[in-house]
Each structure stands twice: as C-alpha cells, then as structure tokens.
Structure 1
C-alpha cells in the first residue's frame, strides 16, 4: 500500500485539490488553472490573518502577490513579510528528500520515502514496546493548518497510542488560553479587529504593534474617535513613541499596576454595577485591592502615584469605550495568567466587554495559534472539548469513528515538562513538526545535553538546515505555506483557507500526506479512512464542534469561507446567516461560558522577578520582536533577499547611552552579553529607548535564548522570556 501511495504524485497546480478515487491521501489530483488567473490565500506568518491575492502564470504557479483590497482584516494592506511571502518557497536549503543519519559515519544520507516511513514506524514501535506510551512525544506548531494539527494529534494519541504532545503555541499563547478558560469558562478572545477603530481609550500592554503586528497598528490609525492610546512597556518602543501616553513601567510591574488601577476605580465608585452582576467574586476582589494603593504600586512599577491615578480615570470614564490589548510582553511571563486576568477584571468591572470598542483582548502570535488551541488535540481534546469529560470523549469517538478506549482521558505533559522528561531519560523519542525548539526554547543551551539523552529524534520541516533538523536522526521534507491547502484561524477567531500556488520541491510532501503514510504504516489507517484530503477533514472537524462555544457547523466548505471574507466562530448551523457579518464579538448578552453564565474575577499577589539583578549581573535583559521584517527564528524571513536588507544581519544589544558611557562602550562596538546560562557577542546599539539598567536583545538571533531564564507561569506553563539578569563585558 505504501508503494502505491508514493506513486500517486501531484500534477499541475490547482486552486482546489480533488481526491482521486480509491487513493489514501497522496492522490490529490489538481485541476488546471486558467492562464493569468489569480487565487487568494491567508498569509502564513502572524495571526493577524491578512488575505493575499496571488497572481499565477499559465502553469498555475504564483509569480507575484498583492494584499486583498476588500478583505475585512487587512483592507488592502500588507506588512513586509506578507509582500515577500513567496520568497521562502524557492530557498536553496529546502528539503527535497528524506534524510537518515548513518550511525557509522554520523552523517545524514538521502533515503526514499519507503525507508523513511519504515524507519519511523520501526523505531517508534520499538520504543513503545520497551518503554510504554509515555516514552515518546511530539512537539508541533502554530504554523500549519488546523486539519493537519488535528490529524497529528489524533494519529499520535488514538492511532499510535502515545500520550504526550504539545505545540509551540505554549511559547506564545498558553497564558491567554488559561486566562480566558478560567475567567470566561472557555478560551474565547471576545473581540473583533473593528474594535481598534471604535475605541475611545486603547491600552496596549507589552504589545509593540507597530513592529509585531503592523496591520493592526494601521487599524488603530484608522480610528476617527481621536482615542487615547496608552502603552505600558519598559521600552520606548515604536508604538510607545506614537502613543498619547507611555507608561515606562519596571519590568514585570504590570500586575501591581493593574491592581492599583482597580483600587482607584472601586474606591471612586467608577464601576458598572449591572456588569458586575454577571461576575463572580467581586467582593473578594474589592477586598484584595483595597490596600493596593497607587502609592504602594509606585515602588513596584516605577511610576508616580499621580500618573496611576490619572490612568485609572482614563480607563474608567463613564460612556467611554475602553479596550485592553496584550501580546507577548504579558504572555511570556512567570505570572502572565494573573496579569491577563487583571486586565480582564478591569474590563469586567467597568462594563467594557461585549460592546463595540471594548474588551480584554489577547493578540495571537502565530498564524494558526487559535487553530492549535482548538484542534491540535494537545491541551484540549480536538474541537474545543475536554479530555477529562466522558461525554466529550464519547462525542469525539462517535463523530470521528475512533474507538472510545483509544481516546485518552489523561493529560499530556506540557512542553517544558516533555523536555525535562527527555533530559531525565524518561522520554526516549521526539517528533518535531514545523517548529525549531533547538533555537527557540528558553535557555536553549540545555537542549544540547538533552539531545544526547534521546534515542530517536525526528524533524519534519520545510528546511533541512534548521538547528533542530541538522541534529535529527530522521528528517522528513515537508511542503510549506503556498504548497498546501487547509484552514487557519486568526486572533479574532476568523477562519479562512490557504491555497496551494506552487508545487513542493523534489519529494517533499504536505504534512497531511506524511501523516496518512504514517497511519498506514503503523496499521491504524482504517481509523482515518474518511480523512481523504484537508477539506474532508475540515468537514469532520466542523461537525464535531456542534454545541461547543466554537461551533462552526454553519460553514459549508472552503468556498463558503472565501465568499464570506472569512467567518468568525461561533457560526452554528442553527442560526447561520448566509451572509455572515464581517465583524462579530462575543458576550454581547453579558453571559459567559461557566455553567452559571458568570465570569470569574481571579487574582493573586504579585511575585518578585525569578532572577533579580545583583552586583554580578546588574542589568535586566529584555527580549522581543526586532523589526517587522523578522519572524521568530528567521527560518523563512532569512530566505528573502529583500527582508534581510531590512534588519541587521548580526545580533545587536540596545543599551542606554548613560550605561554605555559608564562602561566605556561605543556605538557599534562588539561586546559580550552574559547571563548565568551562557554568553553571546552582540554589537552595541546606544538607544535612549531602553531605560538605564536595562538591555534589549531581539529574539530572532540563535544565540539569544542561550541567555534566557528557565522560569514558567505556574498556571499556563508558559516560559518567562522577557526578563532575566545579565551583564556586559567589553
């Protein structure tokens, strides 16, 4: 059967992929596109979810692109990454053939797919038989369509019988997921992008939108209500410099600030009593913040008490629409969940939720992180269900035709726990799909030692050259964005499809096809007989969401999504409008997803930094996005000649001129940045935008995460990338 599947290769490119009769996943037969035609696809970088128009030649290959003018997300705009989205597809280091490491020479050698699939199956089955279902794990991504995510998670847990798997959305969105689940009863970002344009007061916390999400910053610039824009960030970022108010807070002083704001608002009676009726825990919260005064918070935040009082009035003015927004500056923190919930609390007690221009709104990082949150079968049972709920397991069993005994009720280890178990020798094998943890993980130097503990490392990626792929025992070449179909879900819960506009190089296959091959080889192919192609999988997953907060049963197919300009969940069949509104927000009725319909006000005392400065390491090191042309580990943006010209090739560290003078450091001088975990060389950039005593490194350079501190939010297990102790050496 495997040999038959492998002979079924792709033909010319197509706007639609149609399954050939009797095939098992590799037989996608494309229809020819007309000469000089166009198609559309959602950008595969960040979770803004811009739609691009792709211009095709006679063979159906994309030769150029432009932003889609009437799409309700980007409204004809694109950032530098979007304009250059095709460049990574033609990189010279694309994987074109499976590579297997020769144990005798230690070198990776090309092999055929039969050998690669057989090796994967034999090695993983051997490990499972010897060590059990806990002895292997997958680490996946927010970069592939949710149909592929679901296939991977179900194949691994129900088909192959392993337990542990997590996605790299743990590095960017776990905090928001946990905060929303605990506060609202479901992971439900309430907003729509139109709220940027309808707010009177916009608070951006740990969010440098001008760089990290340029299209969303442009949406703010379209606001005709002359909004107050308040930026809470230790650095005077590009966004902070354009704001009406910049609060240069001490690193991780956010939580103390939010509690002081709540103190002022409750003290002055600037609350919405009707909205508070829809919450649980207000009296306890009011008692908690009673003594958390602006004067007390001044020391923890570095802000003057009068400034805190002024901001409290701005964010609670009656009749004003106030929206709270955050990204990685909050999420990637040792107490990010409580910080996010502190903003949720402020929105709830002032009635700023469920109405235009309001909300407590997490902006997602990766293009399909929301898809991962609902469909990856990692932290939540596929389709927004709960592994521990017997009714949910039965529903998934019936809906997908999976025997109930093969749907686990046990939770997986989280990302950091998986890596620690591998370090301890308990996990013997890792399967890494479309992510690069040997660059991106916190305190990444530890992973070198971890690699030696693994019996088998598989990396499935577009490129054979990533830090993770280069040390793999088995490398599987995968198609990337632009070479596959499927659905992404953006930050505002909007589903929309991506389309294939190039043929993957050499023998590279879509992740969907690779999973089908592995299912057949493992012996569980019958479990996935209906998963003939991504759109067939979409319909299975769509139907599975019935009755859940993320119900999308009203969506017919991919064409329906295209015709509608994407559709935000929920969109249940019971009240589906044939012409869905472009913008829809949650909680307009004041009802939430807890059984009693009320939101929860959750809080706890702020904790000190896990690694404070001292005489030896006297600087606080901050990390974050460098420029709008860089993306994560630069695996793709580094392939574009144009994008590479828009950012420094070598790592640089921002330092305040006063600190530079004190240490005798000149602009552009190469210096050493050191933490207790490692060191790196960087070019000094004298920048008054960082405060004295602080440093800033862009996260995109491979050396940076050798320095970061391995601390985690206890509620979400998200790493604390944003603040650790460091020193400079000249």
Structure 2
C-alpha cells in the first residue's frame, strides 16, 4: 500500500486550474465542491457539477467556504490547564486519566461526546475504542439533537435504520410534503432541486407543514400552520382517511406489513383537532395526499426535535407503508439530516444505543460478532447514556472523565448553562477542536488541536445514503492532528495499540467495510464489503456512491418489494397517539418557543462567523413575535426583549412578524459567548426528551417575555477586534474588521472615554464627535492618518444608520461626514444584504426593479446575479418584487 501522506488528491480541471474534489462540511445534503488554494491560506470554491447531490449547485454557506479557512483563532498546540504543552505530555495525561478513572470507578465512569461533523473514519475509531476496548457504551453525539427520533422510528418500522429513497424522488414526485422542515434555509440545494422540479412539472404540488410561515412556505401550494406537536394527530387522521376511502394497498400490506389493525384503531381514536388546523385545512390535505400516487414526505427537525418525535416519525411512515408508497420512484418518507455526517455516525454506531454497521447493541449475536471481529477485550451489554442523560451523569459526578470531540455542547445542548457548569465541574475534561475560543473549549482541562475541513481526509455520508470523500487540500496548521490519529494515539497509551495501529484513513475504511460484511451476513442493510480490499489509490479516487455496495445489491431504493429487517421480513405499523409537548404554557411562562437556524449560519458559527458576507444577512440573534403579542408586551420593532424560562435568560432583538402565530415565538440558536453571550438560546430550552430516541424537544419550550429597559442602543465598528461590556451585544466580522450591536441600561458619563475604552484606542486616534446630551445621542468616529479605525453611533432608540455602508467604510479614508451614518450621493447605499452569495443589498435590488422595470425573480438574477446561485434568497426577492410593483390606492 502507498503511504496515505503521499497519495495525490483527486484533481479536476476547473477554469484552467487544478481543483481538488471534496465535500461540503455543512448540512446533510452532502454537496460536492471543487477547491483551489489561493496561496494565502484561503480557497477558491466552485460547485462540483458531477456530484449526484448538487449537480453544480451550492448554497451561500458552501459558496463562502474559501473565506473560512483562516488561522486567526486556531488552536495550534496542545494545552494543559491553559498552558501550551507538547503532544507526548498531553496524550500521556489523557490516557493516564482515563485509565485511572476506569480502574477506580469502572468503564461507565468515562464518556465520549462526539459530532456529526467528524469524518466516518474518525467516528469509527472513537466508537471502537469506547465500546470494544474501554467496554462502555457511553459514546453519544450531537446528532442525538438532530435525527435520533428518525433512527428510532426507522428501526421500529423497518427493523433497521434505513433511509428508503433518493434525492431524485423529489423530482419524480407529484406531491412533496415538507413537514417540520424549512428546506429553503436549512437545505437550500435540495430546495432548489424542488423549485426546479416544480417549474419543470407545474402539476407538482408542494405542502409545507410548519407552525411558522418561512421562506419554504413561499413555494408551497398549501401551508398548514400546525400546532406545536400536532403532527401525530394530522398523520393519524390521514391514515384513517386512507382506510375510509379505500386507498390502502391491501396486497402490499398482506405481503409485507404487520400491525395495521392496531395502528388504525389508534388513528381513529385520535382527535384531528389536536393538530391545530381547521376541518377545511385537514380535509384539503387528506384529499391531496390520498389522491396522489407519487408522494414524498420530507421531514426534519420540526418532527425529530420533540418529546414525541419517534411517534411523529412512525405516524408518517405508517401512511407510506399502508399505501405501498415507498421505495418506488417519486414515493417514500424522507428524513433530511442537519449535519454533514450524521448518517456516517449512524453507520459506525456513533450513538450510545447502536453498534457499528447498524448492528444492535442489545442483540447478543450482534455483540458477539463485533467483539470477535475487533478481537475486543470487552463489550457493553446494553445502551450507554444518551446526550441529555450523559451530561446529567457528568453533573452528578457519575461521569468523571469526559472527552468532547468537534462540538460545542455548552451552547448547543438544552439547558446549556447547566451543561456548561457540569463540564466545568467534571473531574477531567478533554476537548479536541480547531479552536480554543468556544464556550466548551474554555472549560477543558486539556485542549487537543485537531484538523478541520480542507485539512482532513476521509468519507462522509449524506441524507440519501451517498458516501463521498472529503479530501485534504491545505496542510495541517501548527501541531494540529487528525481526530482519528489522536484517538488512536490515546488508545495505544491505554494499552490497545495493536487494535489501533492504523496509518491512514484508507486503512480504517477497509476495516469498517469488512465489518459491514459481517453485518450483511447477519441480514442487515448496511453492507459496503465490496470495498473492504480497496487500495489506497482507489480510496483516494473513490467516487460518490450510494450504499449498499455488496454483491448484487448496489445502491438504489429500499422496500418497494418488501424485504424489511424484522425477523419475519415485514415492516411494522405502529399504534401512536398524539401527545402535547412536555412543557405546558402557564401564566408565568405563556409563550411557546420555537428554535432553529438562519439561512447563512451554521451551528455555533465557529466556521461561518469567519466569513463577513455570511453575517450581513442576519448579524445578531432575534426574537420573532406576532404584532399583537408585541403590542401587548410593549415591544417596539428592533428593541431588545428579555426572554426567560425556568432554565435560563437571554436578550434578543425584536423582530415583529405575522409569520409566527399568536402565543408563539421563534429564535435562532447559533449565537455563543464569542458572538452574543446574552443570546445563547439553548439556555432557555428545557431538557425534555423523547422516551425512545432521547432526542430533546428543542421547539416547544415555554418562556416569558418582557422589554429590556435600555437607556441607549448602539452600533459600533472597528478595524480591530473588540469585546463590548454592555448588557446586550452581538458582534460579527466585516471585511475590514468588526461590527457590533449594543444596548445597555446605564448611560456613559463620558461618551468619548467610553468609546475609546470599548475599542481599546489611545490618544493617537483623532475623535470626530457629535454628542447631544439632552437627547441621549452620540456619534463618534476615530481617525488615524485620515482613515476610519472605529465608530460608535448611539441613541435612546435603535440606531438608524446604513450598516452596510459603514461596514464598507471601515479602514478607508473618511472625514466628519461619516457621522451622518449614510453615504452621500456619490456612493449609493446598497441597503441590507439580501443575497449573500453575491453581496447584493435591498436598496440595489429595489432600484433595479424600478429603473429596469424588472418583473420576475429571474430578471433580477440576470440583472444583478441575486438569487442565481443557491436561490435561498428567492423568497425575499419575490417579496421585494411584490412590494415594489403593488399599486398604491389613491386616497
């Protein structure tokens, strides 16, 4: 075999330059990208036209990947208790602490918490070490937070965790139901595939089921504003309607499905009104679904992140199984995952209740097979602790040594403040990550510098079972090491070296593929054993493929002709009943909180926050609230709301919108101690979980809301990094430095002194000021050699200045005119960014619509490029077009 370090990457000619073909590190769509180093540590990124997932499309985040590889915040050497250390000392300490803890307290006193952003090869060795050699199942993953209910539902219905369909089913369907999925913002490339499919086939209908009206709703022929937790009631009504109208596929059921009578009885007993929908809305949906043969039901976090998430999944699966609308082109249930390798983690047993290759940890035959294959000294006989329970065990001192890899649970877990305290108080915590500047990394005893996307080499699996290569393009910075290498080095020091003497990801992949053959011989679905003797060179050149890949079973769909994985070969319909969310609104906490993502950011923003353009669309955390609720509470637009729950407190910018229903609010979950410490939304979320999947209910906590009593609001920007000390702040990068939104209860006694302190400026910076003490307003600009190095705009109400103009001016020549906060006639104001891919602002778009008489989104794209790449801004473009072309009635 060739040494892994000397293998050439797969290269492709792109516009005359050699590009490396790799896979995007964001959502579960799994887009192919082509990357060319720019010679300055960044990359030029283009979409891979040959990859089956995206066929040349990319979203705003993928397009900006080349802007996120800078080293300014990278962890470049190990640290022990905050002090730099060498690898030998750090690894010796980690191995010794884990070994000593196990010897003293047993294997279940230690735990790993890993990530859907790990590569499959990293995941595999972590799972092997914990389950096969430490002998505990206490390894869980942040994928528990996004798709564990889908796993549990698949296993109950199908007998294993199988995704039946393919992305191309979206293009072949006549009805696509999107439930609990803001596909336009969370999976933009799939959304654009659906947009294109609808344009090509005008008969294609789209239904969007979501309590909130989102960008996805703009494509829908029918939007159903379902009550939180109402999915089981709606799909039970559908199952009953299918039976009542003779739509059940009796031959398919007789041959391939059990449990119809029990499931149907439960469905008939349920109350459709619990869905929160009108009788007319329910009837319209039932008729459309029942009368359309080719139906795909796409579901995501709105279904999974629920205390009844598994039942929601099975309610959906019941309808597809009962009609045989599964496994055929244009039909089937489809779970879209939130992370790039959530599926890969499922495949290697990265969840506490699974073994590798979809083998069952509670099945003695499966455990014995894995133990024999690994020649493992010990195997746990049952599941380990799922994420919420794992951190409770840390809090209670039952977990005494914890290793967190490539994730930020002090922000992303429910009851985030409680989790952060538990991590801080743990006897020994190790964190492997790219940066020391996360809420979690700051709590660690040992920090281990890991490589990241564009430096790592391995495989990932997307939501349609497509395994693709991520390839190294840039060298590992400083002393950073690959995660699989770090884990194997610790395993060796713990005495397990022979089982972890891997020298390359290709070698790990071969072992993993061979183990899948064991699973295949035991009758499981996941089998890629045809690749178990893949050479290093062939691994390097591996093209995307859909599993399984063994013998005659090559990719494709599952279950059109049955072949389920229960002992009798049949699927199970499940008797499920509507359950309301675990948190109940009350006088103290009357509002239902929904959480989710924004269009241009990802998880806790450790990558996307590095790109200035990705922060231009939405630069701070916000609370979306209905106008009537805002009026009742005395919340003004763009003011700050204080939001509290029994678990925590946050401050959020107020966004008043009729897109949410009365009594419900929405807040995005991306902001952290680095970007907005008062906006860590998961601090509000109660740790209620689904009893089967262990997935937290992140979309239905209850909260109270009141206005923050702010004496002043501000907007600040600087060429240098700065850390505000105000009650509310949220900061983001600009192309020339940093910007921040501010609010505080206390007025400064001296605005200039306060501003110099904020920016860390000495007397060498000349101040240009306009201060109005009588009205509590101040505008200050600081110039060095005629260039703008910092500015602060403050007043008693949210500050109305052109943020895009000011952000573009930082570092440029400026004078007193900058205090106006707006450009002069010679420099048009682009307005708030709408299209992040091409950095096109609202004012620019409106002016083009007016001056060029544009009448369609396509014409806007032709004129300005806006919306012509990922398309996730198209709903906003359509809204601007409608607003600009709506006639105004004469008075």
Normalised by the size of structure 1, how large is the TM-score?
0.90
The counterpart of 1:55, out of the listed 36, 40, 43, is: 36
Asked if 1:68 corresponds to 2:73, the answer is no
**How far apart are residue 56 of structure 1 and its match?**
4.1
Task: Check whether the contact 2:307–2:696 (CA below 8 A) recurs between aligned residues.
Answer: yes
**How far apart are residue 508 of structure 1 and its match?**
0.6
**How far apart are residue 70 of structure 1 and its match?**
2.1
Distance 1:19 1:408, change over 3 A: farther
| Deviation larger for 44-53 or 385-394 | 385-394
Specify the alignment match of 1:357 in structure 2: 330
1:723 & 1:33 partners in 2: Cα distance? 45
Specify the alignment match of 2:19 in structure 1: 38
Asked if 1:314 corresponds to 2:291, the answer is no
The superposition leaves residues 696-717 of structure 1 with CA deviations (integer Å, 9 ceiling, x where unpaired) of 0011123101111110000101
List aligned pairs for 1:328-477, cutoff 5 A: 328-377=301-350, 378-400=352-374, 402-403=375-376, 405-477=377-449
Specify the alignment match of 2:731 in structure 1: none
Specify the alignment match of 2:176 in structure 1: 202
Task: Check whether the contact 1:457–1:473 (CA below 8 A) recurs between aligned residues.
Answer: yes
Unaligned stretches of 5+ in structure 1?
1-16, 21-27, 102-107
Specify the alignment match of 1:140 in structure 2: 114
Distance 1:393 1:662, change over 3 A: closer
Distance 1:66 1:570, change over 3 A: same
**How far apart are residue 570 of structure 1 and its match?**
1.0
The counterpart of 1:271, out of the listed 248, 252, 256, is: 248
Task: Check whether the contact 2:395–2:422 (CA below 8 A) recurs between aligned residues.
Answer: yes
| Deviation larger for 533-542 or 659-668 | 659-668
Task: Check whether the contact 1:479–1:504 (CA below 8 A) recurs between aligned residues.
Answer: yes
The superposition leaves residues 37-67 of structure 1 with CA deviations (integer Å, 9 ceiling, x where unpaired) of 22100111111010001124689x7631200
1:421 & 1:502 partners in 2: Cα distance? 39
Asked if 1:543 corresponds to 2:514, the answer is yes
**How far apart are residue 652 of structure 1 and its match?**
0.8
Task: Check whether the contact 1:488–1:495 (CA below 8 A) recurs between aligned residues.
Answer: yes
Asked if 1:488 corresponds to 2:460, the answer is yes
1:422 & 1:596 partners in 2: Cα distance? 41
Specify the alignment match of 2:779 in structure 1: none
Aligned to 1:360, the other structure's residue is in SS state strand
Specify the alignment match of 2:812 in structure 1: none
Task: Check whether the contact 2:134–2:378 (CA below 8 A) recurs between aligned residues.
Answer: no
Asked if 1:249 corresponds to 2:219, the answer is no
Task: Check whether the contact 1:146–1:371 (CA below 8 A) recurs between aligned residues.
Answer: yes
Task: Check whether the contact 2:34–2:45 (CA below 8 A) recurs between aligned residues.
Answer: yes
2:358 & 2:622 partners in 1: Cα distance? 41
Asked if 1:683 corresponds to 2:661, the answer is no
Aligned to 1:55, the other structure's residue is in SS state strand
The counterpart of 1:287, out of the listed 265, 287, 296, is: 265
Asked if 1:723 corresponds to 2:700, the answer is yes
Task: Check whether the contact 1:252–1:609 (CA below 8 A) recurs between aligned residues.
Answer: yes
The superposition leaves residues 250-284 of structure 1 with CA deviations (integer Å, 9 ceiling, x where unpaired) of 11111111111212221222221122222101112
The counterpart of 1:699, out of the listed 665, 669, 674, is: 669
RMSD: 2.1
Aligned to 2:593, the other structure's residue is in SS state strand
The counterpart of 1:662, out of the listed 632, 646, 649, is: 632
2:636 & 2:10 partners in 1: Cα distance? 57
Task: Check whether the contact 1:91–1:639 (CA below 8 A) recurs between aligned residues.
Answer: no
1:564 & 1:116 partners in 2: Cα distance? 35
The counterpart of 2:603, out of the listed 617, 632, 650, is: 632
The superposition leaves residues 590-629 of structure 1 with CA deviations (integer Å, 9 ceiling, x where unpaired) of 22111212110012222222112122222111111122x1
**How far apart are residue 314 of structure 1 and its match?**
0.7
The superposition leaves residues 103-140 of structure 1 with CA deviations (integer Å, 9 ceiling, x where unpaired) of xxxxx111111110111122222222221111110100
Specify the alignment match of 2:780 in structure 1: none
The counterpart of 1:232, out of the listed 196, 209, 215, is: 209
Aligned to 1:65, the other structure's residue is in SS state strand
Task: Check whether the contact 1:561–1:567 (CA below 8 A) recurs between aligned residues.
Answer: no
2:283 & 2:56 partners in 1: Cα distance? 40
2:97 & 2:347 partners in 1: Cα distance? 30
Aligned to 1:406, the other structure's residue is in SS state coil
Asked if 1:98 corresponds to 2:74, the answer is no
List aligned pairs for 1:608-619, cutoff 5 A: 608-619=580-591
The counterpart of 1:325, out of the listed 281, 293, 298, is: 298
Distance 1:496 1:559, change over 3 A: farther
1:117 & 1:343 partners in 2: Cα distance? 47
Distance 1:486 1:448, change over 3 A: closer
Unaligned stretches of 5+ in structure 2?
673-679, 708-891
Task: Check whether the contact 2:306–2:581 (CA below 8 A) recurs between aligned residues.
Answer: no
1:610 & 1:599 partners in 2: Cα distance? 29
Distance 1:112 1:342, change over 3 A: same
Task: Check whether the contact 1:261–1:309 (CA below 8 A) recurs between aligned residues.
Answer: no
Asked if 1:652 corresponds to 2:622, the answer is yes
Specify the alignment match of 1:87 in structure 2: 67
